[in-house]
Structure formats: C-alpha cells, structure tokens
Structure 1
Amino acid sequence: MVSFCKSILRVLVVGAVVSAAPQTITAKTTVTTTQCLSASTISASTSTSTVTPTPIPTGTIVAPKVVFIANTFEYSYLRGYNFSNAYTAPMLDSAFNCTSNNEICMLAVGQELVSAMQLTVLEMMPRLNLTETYFIITGTGGANPKVAAAGGVSMARFTVQWEWGSMFLGDDLPANFSGQYFYAYAQLAPDSYPATVGTEVYELNQGLIDRWYNLTHDLEFEEVSSSLQEIRKNYPYAPAQHPPFLAKCDVVSAQVYWHGDVAGENVEYYTSLVTSGLGSYCNTNEDDQGRVLGLFHGAEHGLVDFSRVAIIKAFSNFDRPPTGMTAYQSRYFVGEGATEPGLNNAWMVIKAVAHDVLENWDEIYSKGVKAPNYVGDIGGSLGGTPDFGKVGTAAAGSVQGA
C-alpha cells in the first residue's frame, strides 16, 4: 500500500547499519520481534481509550517511563499497546493517552514547528511528572541514498533546522556558485560558520543511541515492494541498494519540502557546516525540530531531562532520484512507496526499546544512560561545552552585521 499524506512527504531510507565510512554496511542476523518483546507487551493491535479525556485527578501523579511522539497517521501502524487512560489539559489539542499503569504514553502532535507548542502545554500539565521520562520522537522522512535505504530506520545524534537562511534559485544563481543555492542568513561566506545559529542545531545522547542501536540493529526488517527493489538498484550508492536496515544518521527539518540532487547536496553541506563536520544527514522531515525545540525548552526549566530524548525515524522514500530518473518523476511517480514497511520497521525498533526501558528501569534507566558526548544546543544552555559551532561573523548589511 502506498500512502500519500502530508506527514510523509519525504524520502525513504534506512535498514542496516552504516558505519563511519558512508558506504560500508554491517551484516545483520535475523531476530523475530517476539524475541525482543514480552507477552505482556504485545497484543493484536494498539487501542486508545474511548473515554472522554479528563485532567489528571487531584492526588494522583502520572510519571511515565516512556512517551511516544508522532502524528496521528503514524500511530495507525503501531501495534501492541492498550492506551486505556486519557488525560487532557487546557490548550492540549489531543488526548495524552497512557497504558493502565501509566508507564507508556503517547501524544499525537501536529506537523511543523507548531508541535513545540503542544509539547510545552504537555510539560506544564498539572500532576504530570516528566523529569525521568524517555521521549521517543518518530515518524517518516526521506532518505539520503548515500547513507540510508528505503523502508529502513534511523537513530539520530543531531537534529538540524534547514531554514534560517537565504537562497538563490534558477537563473538568479550567481555564476561563481558551484551548485550551492542555500546559505545561512547573515553568513559571511558559504564556508564560514553562521553567526545566527541558535535553535537550528541540537545534539542528543550518543550513549542512548548506542545502547538502543546494539539492542535492535539485527532485527529482521520488513522488505519494500518488488518495484521499489528494482528502483533502488539504480542508485550509485551501496546503502541505497541495500534492503531496509537501521542507520545511525541525522535528521534535518524544514517547512518547505525539498527533493532532488541539488537540494539534497545543499542540505548535506549545510548539515556538515553547522555541526562542525560531526553530523551525517540522512532523514528529511517537517516536524522534528519543533518537537525537539519544545522538549529542549522544557529541559531548560527542569521539566524534562534532555539526555533522555531520542529520534527514531522511518524512511518512506529517497530525497533524490536514481540514475535515469528526474527529480520530478521520483517525487511524483515513485512517491513515498516505502511508508508502510518503514513505519512497521520503526515501530518494531521502538517497541523493543520501550520494552528494554521497562525491563531494566531499576538497574539502568532510572538513573539515566550516561552521555559520552555533549548534549544540548550551541550555547551550552544545559551545561557543558558544545563540540560543534564557533563564533561566526555576520555579513555586512544583515541585521546582525549592520
């Protein structure tokens, strides 16, 4: 089934594991889903409460161990939970649904940056304690064929907003531009660090990613359709030609949907620039930065622990065409054909991760998974010294450089 939905207009990719060398893929063994999940965690399907949502009762504290964050459409692929409790608060657009013991909860949020508002409202809900909660942001996105595969899954260390910038298009592109049409606002030169980076880049807990990757990278992923298997053979990159796999690579958000080699290479360049060469772009989306922004500001006020935030995404399509196909053909005739296997694979990974959190709460997760890297924004707002970014010089004539 090919699903066409605004929330999945991206690229598909993911599956196996990509090492530091972009085109090296590790072998994977076969493990069934039930080997990772206990019978108490699995049921035929996921259900949510039909009871009218209410505020959390006075005298009750709800302190979930895991919270899923996704669009309503993406939850239609989640199986195995009964979210029988439904809570609400003023200005919360959808119910905050939880299992009967409130250990696992889910929130359906909108697209784009407006999702930051919904998470802010959630964080301020009376009698809800999120200080030890693990947040898993998920959904679909397009895949960079250099590092990911259609139908696969990704775990991200960096999340980047590709939007606070300037661009030239078509014939307006200066003659001395070698294909780069996007550059950060007030950037002095294409290779200089932007002077305006703030909420555009966040770094997540590598220790959490490594543990969850090691736990799930050998799961047996659902394959994409035979037609997509034929199409992926025409990409000149080994990861794109591979069946769905789990990749460690980063997400980039924008309110504008992009597709094609030119746009994809611009995003690659910008991601590398603003992460000081540490980031590896693979997943396109319109949602993640807003969600991370809401959680980050909650962390600044002690409402959540930012080292417990993770992004596990599905690949619904590729962000650029294969050899022999135009960007237009790739975007509108191939579309997001890997949406279904991608989301099925992503939820399989997420359920295994959630099960691990519950099973090892006292021993590991209650005290947190230590981060071997810096976690936070470019300003060190949560403490520590950022390992990306540097002082930039604003261009003359810009607001910052005037």
Structure 2
Amino acid sequence: MSLMKFRRGLAVVGLALVAQLAGAAEPAVPAQAAPSARIAVKMVVVANFENGADTGDKPGEYQFWVEREHLDQTIAVRGAERPVRRNDQGLYGLILSDMDAFVLDPRFDFSHTYWLFTGISGGNPNEVSVGSAAWARWVVNGDQLREFDDRQVPRDWPYGLFAIGAMKPNALPTDPNGFGSVESPEELGMAYTLNPSLVQWAYELTKGVKIPDTAELAARRKAWVGFPNAQKPPQVILGETLGSKRYWHGSMRNQWAEDWVKLWTGGKGRFVMTNMESQNAAQRIKRYGQLHLLDPQRVLVLRTASNPSMPPPGMDPLATIGDETPGQVAAYEANYRVGVPVIHEILQHWDRYQSVLPGAATQAH
C-alpha cells in the first residue's frame, strides 16, 4: 500500500465514465457481430499498477508478468491507458484501470474467460509474514461505513467505525434510515463471495510453492515477538482481502479490519490482506457478471504481503507506515510464483477447463 498506489488509486477512472468512453468508441468489429467472429479470451491476469514502462525498468505489480510470460503482443483498446498485452498461449495482461475498456470492447468474448486479480497488500501479522500469499474466498468492502471520532465514542465501543444502518460496531444494519435490515452482505456490496471450489483448487495447486525468502526479511521477522505467524517464512494460505480507499495502519485499525471481515462474512472469513483496489475489482466483477459480459465463477484474487498492517510490538506506527522495503519486490515475486502455476494449468488443459471449472473438474475425477 505505497504512496504511489494511493495516488494511482485516486486516478482510477470510474466505471460509468469508462463505459461512456468505450461506448463512444468506434468498434473494431460491428457490435452485432456473431460470437464466432469475436476473439475468445482464455485467461487474463490483472495487476493494479506499474511503476514506469511495462518492461525493462523498476518493476511494479505488472512487470514480472509481462517479461516472464512473454506478453509481447500489444492490442490498442479505446479508452485504455496502456495497450492490453497477450502471448501465444492465450494469456492476456492489463492494469485494473483498463479493465472496463477491455471488457466493453466488442471484439472480445469473455464468456469462458478466467480472471486472476493480483496485487501487493498490507499483511495482517496475526496471520502472515511479509512475502506471504493469500488466495481470497471473500473480498470485503471497507469503504462504505459510519464513523465517529474515536475520542468521542461511547466507552464500551472499541472504535468509531460501524456499518451504515447499524447503531454500534460489529453489528449488521438494522436502522431503516441507513441500509435497512440485511439479508445478504453481498446484496449491499460489502462482501463478494468468490467461487469456493475454484479458490480451494487454486490453493491446493499452489500451497507447496516455495516463495523466496531473504536475509533482510528474516531479520525483520525477529521483531514480531508474540506473533508466531509473522515470524514464519513466506507461505501460501487461504485468507480474505479487505479493500479500502483509506490507507490505514496500526493495531487499533487492525482490530477493526479483523472484526469487519468477520462481520460481513458471517464469521467464516479471516482478515489477511488489506489494500486499496480489491473492492473496486469486485464491484466490476459483480456488475459485468450481471450484464453477462463475464462469468464471476471464473475469478480468482491473489494478494501478497509487502508490509505489515501494523507495527511490531513497541514500535511507533509512524516508523512503519508505508515501509515496503524489503517486502515490495518480495511481494511482486510471490504474486508471480504463486499465480503462474494456476495460469499454466488452465491454459495447458484448456480443452478440459473451457467448459468445466477446475474445482468441479477435480471433484468429477
């Protein structure tokens, strides 16, 4: 969650605006073209930002994918900041802010497309160490909420953040002047459930991936006395991602994040990764699924820890907020190392996975 990511997060084009731009574009093929005339996209990897060029300079979230998967072919898409890239095996790559223009481009057919959303995050030290990777079962929205200054909340409140429509923290909406009572958190856009069979399949395929460790990461882990998971070498786990445009940090907000994820997943999810984009990606997935432009059941979210979401014991939060060294490059590496086996498996066995989702295919055998 670097300052660069914050700035880029503010610059992301809204869904409606991009839709207008794409709708105003002159289509490469007629909008009424038969499905057989469109390009069937097999798989897309989505990153959130890149530091500079796509190749050859300081890497961001995208560069390892472009260079190592040889995404050398470029496709200009009207309304996209960068060209969409692809390789001969059928893997496409892009930046999240360009997803809208890509999905709305009538040249492409996404009815059987698999999507892998990747990115670096703040990792919850109660669950993971820096450099670790987590496959999300839920993406939880941390943007829409009510807020009181923590200095003015009732004494029995843990913090001043609570759900719109609720009257206290850790409660679902009941206030008719807010959301009203809630039947499904997903209906409110607060928790997006990913295909559990597909997520479990991806985890089983990659749980043994060796994520590179470094001496500097190991040295920093020693500060996490009393946090056994933060002292482990990088690993692959199952765990939820919380998306919030607010860049928060510290033990008190970490407690809020753990509680918030439990609240909106019915106590089933655990907060592992925090970032500023995953809720935006989930909103896109849901909307385009409703429009039958893509299949939400074919979506995976992989986040990796570039920094802890709170400081080690005894350390001032100001000393650690935004400090992604040496974790940033380690997290880029983990994104690629853990994500690429899933991509290769799907593309190499496309004759199977085009019509049968991997989790279902595994169960069938």
Contact 2:6 2:276 in 1 (8 A): no
Q: 1:362 aligns with which of 346, 351, 360?
A: 351
SS of the residue aligned with 2:237?
A: strand
Q: Which residue of 2 aligns with 1:83?
A: 71
Q: Which residue of 2 aligns with 1:200?
A: 190
Q: Which residue of 2 aligns with 1:325?
A: 315
Q: Which residue of 2 aligns with 1:190?
A: 169
Which piece of structure 1 moves more, 151-160 or 319-328? 319-328
Describe how 1:383-402 pairs up with structure 2 within 5 A: none
Gaps of 5+ in 2: 8-25, 51-59, 180-184
Q: Which residue of 2 aligns with 1:392?
A: none
Is 1:344 aligned with 2:342?
A: no
Q: Which residue of 1 aligns with 2:61?
A: 74
How far 1:149 sits from its partner (Å)? 1.3
Is 1:126 aligned with 2:106?
A: yes
TM-score (norm 2): 0.80
Which piece of structure 1 moves more, 360-369 or 157-166? 360-369
What is the number of residues matched between the two proteins? 315
Please give the alpha-carbon distance, in whole angstroms, between the structure 1 residues aligned to 2:354 and 2:339: 16
Q: Which residue of 1 aligns with 2:278?
A: 288
Q: Greater share of helix residues, 1 or 2?
A: 2
Please give the alpha-carbon distance, in whole angstroms, between the structure 2 residues aligned to 1:330 and 1:287: 21
Please give the alpha-carbon distance, in whole angstroms, between the structure 2 residues aligned to 1:134 and 1:150: 28
Please give the alpha-carbon distance, in whole angstroms, between the structure 2 residues aligned to 1:293 and 1:336: 31
Contact 2:194 2:299 in 1 (8 A): yes
1:111-155, CA deviations, whole angstroms, 9 ceiling, x for partnerless residues? Answer: xxxx4xx43332221120011011000110000011111011110
Q: Which residue of 1 aligns with 2:254?
A: 264
Change (3 A) 1:256 1:234: same
Change (3 A) 1:290 1:371: farther
How far 1:182 sits from its partner (Å)? 0.9
SS of the residue aligned with 1:251?
A: strand
Contact 2:189 2:283 in 1 (8 A): yes
How far 1:256 sits from its partner (Å)? 0.8
Is 1:65 aligned with 2:46?
A: no
How far 1:57 sits from its partner (Å)? 6.3
Which structure is higher in RCO with an 8 Å CA cutoff and minimum separation 6?
1
SS of the residue aligned with 2:109?
A: coil
Please give the alpha-carbon distance, in whole angstroms, between the structure 1 residues aligned to 2:45 and 2:218: 30
How far 1:255 sits from its partner (Å)? 0.7
How far 1:371 sits from its partner (Å)? 6.6
Please give the alpha-carbon distance, in whole angstroms, between the structure 2 residues aligned to 1:245 and 1:252: 19
Please give the alpha-carbon distance, in whole angstroms, between the structure 1 residues aligned to 2:295 and 2:348: 20
TM-score (norm 1): 0.73
Q: Which residue of 1 aligns with 2:11?
A: none
Q: Which residue of 2 aligns with 1:162?
A: 142
How far 1:56 sits from its partner (Å)? 5.3
Please give the alpha-carbon distance, in whole angstroms, between the structure 1 residues aligned to 2:345 and 2:88: 19
Describe how 1:206-217 pairs up with structure 2 within 5 A: 206-217=196-207
Q: Which residue of 2 aligns with 1:274?
A: 264
Q: 1:138 aligns with which of 108, 118, 131?
A: 118
How far 1:170 sits from its partner (Å)? 4.3
How far 1:159 sits from its partner (Å)? 0.2
Amino acid at match of 2:73: N
Q: Which residue of 2 aligns with 1:46?
A: none
Amino acid at match of 1:155: W
